[in-house]
Amino acid sequence: MTQTSEDVTWLTQEAYNKLKEELAYLSGPAREEVTAKIAAAREEGDLRENGGYHAAKEEQGKQELRIRQLTQLLEKAKVGEAPAESGVVAPGMVVTIAFDGDEDDTMTFLLASREYASSDIETYSPQSPLGGGVNGHKVGEDAVYELPNGKMASVRILKAEPYNG
């Protein structure tokens, strides 16, 4: 199967290493911890009314989901350098846009995989309608993307700078 650019998640080496460490922890020590919690709760007796057992099983399910997500992400990841200061919107850039060219109605966000999402800055995936619409455009250009209601929206690219978070 050939990967398209939409299938690839670009990561810096630092981000890739961080995600690999998280996967190793969840697949090893964290998996053992939750298995031990389940075993301890099972020994308490009736599982139908055992809150600790059900909580541990739910934690295990969430953990296994995260392991699958990380595994898929890392399989598709391409490691590269953070983008250069080029004035072109690309993953890893902090982008400032103006809605409908109105420079008083602006928004700044990081164009990146949700794995980069933090409370510091809003993050839009390159696969999202807005992210896909602005990706590849230069500062000063207008970009168009489709809203959830099917209508088209226009934004002007005001800035595109490498993310240093």
DSSP H/E element including 153: strand 152-162
DSSP state of 112: S
Q: What's the pTM value of the predicted model, to 2 decimals?
A: 0.57
Residues 81, 11: contact at Cβ < 8 Å?
A: no
Among all chains, which residue has been given the structure tokens 């809150």?
51
Residues 152, 100: contact at Cβ < 8 Å?
A: no
Q: Is the model's pLDDT at 50 over the cut of 90?
A: no
pLDDT band at 115 (very low <50, low <70, confident <90, very high): low
- Give me the mean pLDDT over the 136-143 stretch: 92
| Structure confidence at residue 77 (pLDDT) | 77
Name the packing angle between helices 13-27 and 51-76 (round to 10°). Answer: 150
Paired tokens of 88:
């072109």
Among all chains, which residue has been given the structure tokens 């301890």?
40
How far apart CA 126 and CA 95 sit, in angstroms, is 12
Q: What is the pLDDT of residues 15-40, one digit of tens each?
A: 788 889 999 999 999 999 999 999 98
| Structure confidence at residue 5 (pLDDT) | 47
State whether residue 114 is helix, strand or coil: helix
Residues 61, 129: contact at Cβ < 8 Å?
A: no
* Count of Cβ atoms closer than 10 Å to residue 12 Cβ: 17
Taken in order of first residue, the domains within the chain and their CATH numbers are 9-79 (1.10.287.180), 93-162 (3.10.50.30)
User: Hey, which of 8-12, 79-83, 93-97 has the most confident mean pLDDT?
Assistant: 93-97
Amino acid at 87: G
| Structure confidence at residue 84 (pLDDT) | 61
